Amino acid sequence: METIDPDSINAELLERDDGDEPPQVVPPVVAVVVTTADGPWFEESLAALGAQDYPALSVLVLDSGSADDPTDRVAAALPGAFVRRCEPGASFAATANDVLASVEGAVFLLFSHDDVALDPDAVRLMVEEAYRSNAGIVGPKVVDHDQPDVLVEVGMAVDHYGVPFSGLEPGEVDQEQHDGVRDVFFVSHTAMLVRADLFHELGGFDTLTDPGADDIDLCWRARLAGARVIVAPAARAREGTSVDAERAARRHTPAELRSEVRSRVRLLCKSYSALALLWVLPVAFLLDSLEALGLLLTGRFAKSGAIVSGWCTAFAHPRDLRRARAGAQRLRRVDDGDVRDLMIRGSARVRRFMIERVHAGERFADVSSRTRLRVDDARGRVRRAPAIVATVVALVVLVGVRGLLTGHVTEVGWFRSWPGVGNAWSTFSGSWRTTLMGAPRPASPVFALMSVFSAVLLDHPGLAHSLVVGGALPLGTFGAYRLLRRFSSAALPGVAAAAAYAANPIARNAIWRGELGPLVCFALAPFLLGAFVRLTESADDENGSDLRRRRAHCLITIALLTAIAGCFWPPAILLAPAIAVACCVAIPVVGSARKTFVALAGTAAAALAGIVLLAPWSLSLLSADAATLGAQPRDPLTLAAVLHFHTGRAGAGLASWGILAAGFVPLAIATGPRFVWAARAWVLAVLSFGLAWLPGRISPGASTLAPEGVLVAAAIGLAFAAGLGVAAVLDDLRRFHFGWRQVMMVVAGAGLFLAVVGLAADTTSGRFGLHGEDWPTTLSWMSENPPSGGFRVLWVGDPTILPADAKTAGDIGFATTRDGIGDARALWAADEQHADRVLADMLTSASAGTTERLGHLLAPAGIRYVVFLERAAPKSGPFGRDESAIGDALARQLDLTLSRVEESGVVYDNEAWMPMHALVPPSANDVHYTDAEPQEAAVQSEANGVVGVDAPGGSTAAVGPGTLLWSEAANGGWKASTGGNPVARQDAFGWTNAFPLTANAPVHVHYDGSAVASLVRLFAIVLWLVAIALWVVTRRRRAARRGGESAGEVPEQPAVDLTVAAE
Amino acid sequence: MKSRRFLFIVVLVALVAVGLAVGNGSSAAPEHVAVPASGTNASALASSNTVWFCPGAPAKVYPASAGRVTLSNIGDAAAEADVTDLADDGTPTHTQLRVPADSVVTRPRDAFGGPGALTVETFGGRVVVEEGITASKAFESTPCATRTSTHWYFAAGSTPRGVEQWLVITNPYASDAKVDVTLRTSGGVRKPDDLQAMDVARRSRSVIAVHDYAVRLDRVAVEVDAEVGSVVASQVSVFTADAGGPGAAQTIGSPAPASEWTLLGGIARRHASTYVAIANVGDETAQVDVQATDAHKKASISPLILTVVQDAVVWVQLGECEGAAAKTCLTIPDGTHYMVDVRAEQNVSIVAQSFSRYEIASGALATTTALGAITPERSYVFGRSSPSDAVGTSIAVFNPSGVAASVDVSTTTGGRVTRLSTLQHVVLGPGAQVTLSVPRSRRGPNPDAAVTLTSSQPVFVERTIIVEDEASTSAGVVAG
């Protein structure tokens, strides 16, 4: 054996004649063994190369400074090998780079140490894999020389700071657990097959990154150049000294440590983009500083200094460093982001410490694999679980409202008993609204709905009322479940959404407070959102006609739901537009601008149609006061209370935060349309939170909407997101390793569970705290033995707790009912009229202490009782705000007699009251009804001699002569006639009506309403019928289409808007 | 999408963080607008309609015919008055009365019905209502109350032989009231069972002979607390010949205690018995400084510092200290015009009331009492100044502020307002007191006139009317 001229290698390697077989062209491989020839395994290593079954393998032994010439040893072990003696003491990299000049024609270069023994098929397998995977660099599986079942290396990773990390535990047994071919960040030059042209393009190893980072550097630059670095575990190599052991040995001396730090810093400076360096270098420096500090504190001063010195020496030759970096960056064809995918997060040193010292890696791997198994297993199980979970949620909800569904609904707040079919319809169709002092305004269409619903139930308004109050929560829950059907084939997401929605405290608080409007809004919001979601869909298989029909159906649904919710609670008209606006706000995050704006326009049109359906009542809202629109003075909520829906007795604990946590999951893990809708849902929730919190924050004394209503949007948004999160967990989470996502999922699941437990805990009463006596029951005696002429009851206190729709005088709420405790007809009051303002001024006067004759002032309104309330019900329900000023003022009135004292309310008799319909005989001179100034007229008027006049249907028995007082707000529309002859009307007391009667005769009094309003109402009724018909028609055709699909056509799958995802 | 997701989450978290940083909505709810409290314990005349509560004198001592009710309208418009007599016999009587603008109308009490409390509701104008006693050796005229209260306090009262102490509690409202009466006496605190949870029926009054519950006691301070409802309380002390000479002293109580009281209009007279009664109604022992100031020299007279234990009542003699216990007597030279400041340290609640008996020109004994004032005001009205038998009427004015006050006094009667030049722009230096004589009106048949006093700075005032055989002292009505 002799040293050969490298130029001679080329020809010999190209072809090999194998007898009869046609000559095969195999890529020539040159195995480059860098040796110091002082190891015990050198010969074995050469022999292994000689035993390779790869036909075109040549071996070049590069001697980097052996004490003795190794040529003889090489010749003895592998006669065909070439030996080249290099500069003594040169590093591995410098020695290996010799091939750049000495080897030509090789397609692959196989660098290896002199203590590495390759299995006979290793080279072939690596070459084959290089071709198969189109890899630039291929590494084998490296095992221990003496214990071949112990793994040493199967590809390597680095952290963001260039520290290598193998991921193997010390002594990890090879059980083929790593036997998949995969991309790795780098393979060490223990055995490294490199495409020769790539090696040349890269300029070989960077000698200044040796020791410790030369192989990392080569592979990193290869990756930047777009080449793959893979490990082919089928190819195996046995190593006499493990890489880690070798590196650990290198770090034994401070000089080596300094070199390694220098190498690593150089590596970072070369390989990262400039932007990444801005954060990588400081963090790397910080970590090294911490290590140096640790070493310093433990007395290893030299090593500590070596780290610092390593950093300094790395920048000792900036020009060279800049040149090296320019060379590396010149090769760049991929972004840092692609390179970082194969890096590990955190610190490799910490990980290595954990793995080496506490075997955490095994545990991590175990947990990770077990988690995956569990997730897969759970995924299988949860396909069966939804039915159980759904049943549990449904039972909890139904048990929670059982008392409301089956029993009397406590008349708190707006849960006033519903009038019968006839009374409700006449209220709807009447021209004169009978709330407070009356107003020439149409009534809310809610009375028409009451009438129709009660009629359907065979004139059982109580049952209808119970079904609406008790059914709202179940209906909303079902709506939330249905909402998610389009986003997952599994039922569990829907169940999760239903649970999150049902567990939201706002529904319970709405029930507790008697907030009927927000409760209805809560029930309908999921359907509204569902219609909006369907509106934005664009299934490819739909033809134009079907698409138009489906969109029409959605728009009609939105219009009808808006109308229904709006007539119960006017601000609900804005819910659908709010959803659309939220989607628009989310455009920067999720895109899909064009479709979203189209949906916004459609939704606005549908909401407008909803407003038209509510005409003429909706028109009267245009100039209405805040109270008519549902805004009342309320104590502001804290942000924390808003965020966890703590608007009343429910939601005070931590459980409600779980809904927020559950809703957060899809933002982190969902992809495609699920993420899109999760983002939109969160924007909706944030808007809702803002609307619930900011007004009170900005102006604490201002009137605000019921937070239970405003937060409905947040509730459905978060429930929607929670459902999407579960869908993502089922379908998307499997793609992630064990980490924070799984932890977050568990936290969110626990939170959701807690929220449901909170709901369950509230179900014991079956009424969500809405129990006990109510004011109408307690004060029902008022309605007994009604006096002739009728009377009013004035309710005073916090406007949010009064059992009638209240107006405000300052922040004092007041409302009236007629002939006793009244019913739902006292709700949905007309906008404030002059007469209502007069009433308010009187209360303000009393509260300010400027009158002690409030009874006299109220007398023209027919107010017989004044009820001051501090709580929504005598012994339960929410307390109102402190209204002690008016409470004390009422006690100071000379003409109000304390009639009844309850635990949370006081009733006063008005000793100066006059019946609503009364005759003032000519002899009664103390009634100054002709005075124009209301307070002056009333304050000295005495009701002596005034006689109440019954007027059923506006007709009286024979009365007169005298003056008939008609205690409705003064309005020229009031007409009276006697014997067919009209009676002139005049204002009484400056705010009611009077009809002078010259003779004793029956009188008929009626309000002559506007014919236009009646026509508009009729038009609206027709519109309702048309809208319902269209809704049914479009729905039926969809059903028919579905029927066709089930008959064999391909069903539309998936239902979600994939085009959105694509965008 | 990945970066947008991250950005979105960051924005969400930032929104919450900003929200929490801005505040957790913890700003307090707006305070409710309360009835403007004048802070004074005096009656107050509202700018429009006002209700006056006049408890009246005990019928057993003074028949209704001895009573007088004066309605003085200082407004530009005529006023209507609805007078309701809550007669003790349970038969209320309503009387309507017209009070012309700028005029004073005085009616004998029995013109409105039998003995009982009166509720006077006025409409239009600006009417001040006073009630009083005009009998042989008994004269009183004091403003009626413009408000009811759940608490009333009196400090000066005594029940030695020949002295009757009457408490009149009126409930003008349509609902029953329930009151507790506490007597703080020289013999300790007494809460007679009869006077606990005592019903005061709607629109009625209860007349309590305190001397029957606190017999022969030198010092009796009274507190009335309404458990239910709201009432008005007045006290009448009746002196008979057995007490050295007949006389009467009437006053409406103070609806609240305070830690500092001002009593003015004092004159150190020979052979006079002048006291400041101090009752500790607080929760702890009070260190009380009693400081008299010479009105002319503006010099402080050596103060007296007392320890008044809880629920105790102490009488401090003003002048004539010879023979008196030095610890409870403030030496004031004869003829000195003075005012007295009573202050409890550490804000302990006390009540201070003056009580005086002195000889007047006719040789008769004048008996007067007045509760101290708590807060100075800029404008006062007195309903009357010159009863038919008045010898002289004076108004003491004290300027407690640090800057000079300019005081204007006018009288109103017979449809006219008179501003005497001598009573215009009377300048009071800081801490100065002046006593102004109010001349009898020479216009019209009724010499009695309402007196209006306005000042550029808040001042304290007190009116003294001396008739031939008696005198009366009272605070003014605050004109809002």
Residue-wise pLDDT for A109-126, tens only, equals: 888 888 888 888 888 888
pLDDT at position A374: 65
Residues in chain B with CB shorter than 8 Å from the CB of A697 are 22-23, 25, 27
Which residues have CB under 8 Å from A751's CB, separation 6+?
A655, A657, A658, A659, A660, A661, A662
Shortest Cα–Cα distance, A312 to chain B (Å): 35
Rounded distance between C-alpha atoms, residue B41 and residue B474, angstroms = 12
**Given the DSSP bridges, would you call strands B416-418 and B390-398 parallel, antiparallel or unpaired?**
unpaired
Rounded distance between C-alpha atoms, residue A980 and residue A992, angstroms = 23
Q: What is the ipTM of this complex?
A: 0.82
- Structure-token pair, residue A130: 């290089």
Shortest Cα–Cα distance, A900 to chain B (Å): 10
CB B349 within 8 A of CB B260: no
Q: Which stretch of A379-383, A643-647, A949-953 has the lowest confidence by average pLDDT?
A: A379-383
Inter-chain touch B35–A849, beta carbons under 8 Å: yes
Write out pLDDT tens, residues B300-351: 788 899 999 999 999 999 988 877 666 788 888 888 889 999 999 888 999 9
Rounded distance between C-alpha atoms, residue A301 and residue A690, angstroms = 57
- Structure-token pair, residue A107: 């397609």
Which residues have CB under 8 Å from A461's CB, separation 6+?
A417, A418, A419, A420, A421, A424, A450, A454
Average pLDDT, chain A: 83
At residue A170 the predicted structure's pLDDT band, cuts being 50, 70 and 90, is confident
pLDDT at position A752: 84
Q: Which of B416, B372, B397 is nearest to B456 (CA)?
A: B397
Inter-chain touch B8–A883, beta carbons under 8 Å: no
At residue A948 the predicted structure's pLDDT band, cuts being 50, 70 and 90, is very high
Domain range B377-479, its CATH number among 3.40.50.720, 2.60.40.10, 2.60.290.11, 3.40.630.10: 2.60.290.11
Interchain CB contact of B26 with A (< 8 Å): yes
pLDDT at position A875: 86
Rounded distance between C-alpha atoms, residue B209 and residue B189, angstroms = 17
pLDDT at position B35: 35
Inter-chain touch A641–B25, beta carbons under 8 Å: yes
Scan for tokens 């990945």, then name that residue: B2
Q: Which residue of A has its CA nearest to B176?
A: A898
Shortest Cα–Cα distance, A696 to chain B (Å): 8
Residue A95 clears pLDDT 70, i.e. is over it: yes
Average pLDDT, chain B: 88
Write out pLDDT tens, residues B389-430: 788 899 999 999 889 999 999 999 888 898 988 899 999 988
Inter-chain touch B33–A682, beta carbons under 8 Å: no
Inter-chain touch A639–B229, beta carbons under 8 Å: no
- Compute the average pLDDT of residues A509-518: 93
- Compute the average pLDDT of residues A250-276: 79
CB A501 within 8 A of CB A716: yes
Cα Dmax for chain A: 148
Interchain CB contact of B241 with A (< 8 Å): no
Interchain CB contact of B2 with A (< 8 Å): no
pLDDT at position A11: 41
Q: Which of A456, A472, A468 is nearest to A418 (CA)?
A: A468
**Would you say the CATH fold of B377-479 matches that of B260-371?**
yes
pLDDT at position A744: 74
Residue B164 clears pLDDT 90, i.e. is over it: yes
Inter-chain touch A638–B9, beta carbons under 8 Å: no
Rounded distance between C-alpha atoms, residue B21 and residue A639, angstroms = 10
Which 3 state secondary structure label does DSSP give B256? coil
Instruction: Count CB-CB contacts under 10 A for residue A136.
Output: 24
pLDDT at position B255: 94
Interchain CB contact of B358 with A (< 8 Å): no
Portion of chain A with pLDDT greater than 90, in percent: 35
Shortest Cα–Cα distance, B97 to chain A (Å): 13
Inter-chain touch A894–B174, beta carbons under 8 Å: yes
Mutate to test the interface with A, among B43, B146, B175, B176 (most CBs of A within 10 A): B175
Inter-chain touch B5–A667, beta carbons under 8 Å: yes
Residues in chain A with CB shorter than 8 Å from the CB of B147 are 849
pLDDT at position A945: 87
The domain ranges of chain B are 260-371, 377-479
Q: Which stretch of A337-341, B54-58, B234-238 has the lowest confidence by average pLDDT?
A: A337-341
pLDDT at position A935: 87
Residue A1057 clears pLDDT 60, i.e. is over it: no
pLDDT at position A153: 84
Label residue A923 exposed, middle or buried (CB < 10 Å: 0-12, 13-18, 19+): exposed
Q: Which among B27, B49, B173 has CB closest to A700? A: B27
At residue B27 the predicted structure's pLDDT band, cuts being 50, 70 and 90, is very low
Q: What is the DSSP letter of B438?
A: P
Q: What is the DSSP letter of A893?
A: -
Write out pLDDT tens, residues A472-486: 999 999 999 999 888
Q: Which among A693, A701, A850 has CB closest to B25? A: A693
Q: Which among B19, B23, B51 has CB closest to A894? A: B51
Give the alpha-carbon dihedral of A523, A528, A530, A532, to 10 degrees. -170
Write out pLDDT tens, residues A961-1013: 999 999 999 999 999 999 889 999 999 999 999 999 999 999 999 999 888 88
CATH of domain B260-371: 2.60.290.11
> Highest mean pLDDT range out of A72-76, A803-807, B333-337, B384-388?
A803-807
- Structure-token pair, residue A446: 């809610």
Label residue A300 exposed, middle or buried (CB < 10 Å: 0-12, 13-18, 19+): middle
CB A798 within 8 A of CB A871: no
Inter-chain touch B22–A675, beta carbons under 8 Å: no
Q: Which residues pair with B53 in a beta bridge?
A: B119, B145
Q: Which among A810, A885, A911 has CB closest to B35? A: A885
Inter-chain touch A892–B173, beta carbons under 8 Å: yes
Rounded distance between C-alpha atoms, residue B219 and residue B204, angstroms = 28
**What DSSP string describes A195-209?**
EHHHHHHHTS--GGG
pLDDT at position A10: 43
**Given the DSSP bridges, would you call strands A135-144 and A228-239 parallel, antiparallel or unpaired?**
parallel
Residue A642 clears pLDDT 50, i.e. is over it: yes
Write out pLDDT tens, residues A827-882: 999 999 999 999 999 999 999 888 889 999 999 999 999 999 999 999 888 999 99
Mutate to test the interface with A, among B3, B32, B147 (most CBs of A within 10 A): B32
Residue A563 clears pLDDT 50, i.e. is over it: yes
Rounded distance between C-alpha atoms, residue A1040 and residue A1042, angstroms = 5
CB A937 within 8 A of CB A928: yes
Q: Which among A637, A638, A679 has CB closest to B8? A: A679
For residue B229, the one-letter residue type is G
Residue A188 clears pLDDT 80, i.e. is over it: yes
pLDDT at position B184: 96
Q: Which residue of A has its CA nearest to B3?
A: A589
Inter-chain touch B25–A636, beta carbons under 8 Å: yes
B129 vs A143: which has the higher pLDDT? B129
Buried b (16+ CB within 10 A) or exposed e, B175-192: bbbbbebbbbbbeeebeb
Instruction: Count CB-CB contacts under 10 A for residue A546.
Output: 14
Rounded distance between C-alpha atoms, residue A73 and residue A67, angstroms = 13
Q: Which stretch of B156-165, B319-328, B361-370 has the lowest confidence by average pLDDT?
A: B319-328
Portion of chain B with pLDDT greater than 90, in percent: 61
Interchain CB contact of B333 with A (< 8 Å): no
Inter-chain touch A891–B48, beta carbons under 8 Å: no
Write out pLDDT tens, residues A709-767: 999 999 999 999 999 988 888 776 666 655 666 777 777 788 888 888 888 888 888 88
Shortest Cα–Cα distance, A667 to chain B (Å): 7
Rounded distance between C-alpha atoms, residue B268 and residue B355, angstroms = 13
Distances (CA, A) of B242 to A12, A657, B162, B363: 153, 82, 5, 17
- Compute the average pLDDT of residues A502-526: 94
Q: Which stretch of A40-44, A785-789, B456-460 has the lowest confidence by average pLDDT?
A: A40-44
Q: Which among B8, B80, B148 has CB closest to A667? A: B8
pLDDT at position A24: 55
pLDDT at position A504: 92
> Highest mean pLDDT range out of A292-296, A664-668, A714-718?
A714-718
CB A511 within 8 A of CB A651: no
Interchain CB contact of B175 with A (< 8 Å): yes
- DSSP3 helix / strand / coil % (chain B, rounded to 5): 10, 50, 40
CB B22 within 8 A of CB A642: no
SS (H, E, C) A966-1033: ECCCCCCCEEEEECCEEECCEEECCCEEEEEECCCEEEEEEECCCHHHHHHHHHHHHHHHHHHHHHHH
CB B104 within 8 A of CB B448: yes
Inter-chain touch A885–B33, beta carbons under 8 Å: yes
Interchain CB contact of B29 with A (< 8 Å): yes
Rounded distance between C-alpha atoms, residue A598 and residue A601, angstroms = 5
Mutate to test the interface with A, among B6, B12, B118, B203 (most CBs of A within 10 A): B12
Rounded distance between C-alpha atoms, residue B449 and residue B417, angstroms = 9
Shortest Cα–Cα distance, B63 to chain A (Å): 26
Residues in chain A with CB shorter than 8 Å from the CB of B46 are 849-850
Mutate to test the interface with A, among B53, B80, B173, B228 (most CBs of A within 10 A): B173
A63 vs A374: which has the higher pLDDT? A63
Rounded distance between C-alpha atoms, residue B458 and residue A258, angstroms = 87
Shortest Cα–Cα distance, A303 to chain B (Å): 40
Buried b (16+ CB within 10 A) or exposed e, A1021-1056: eebbeebeebbeebeeeeeebeeeeeeeeeeeeebb
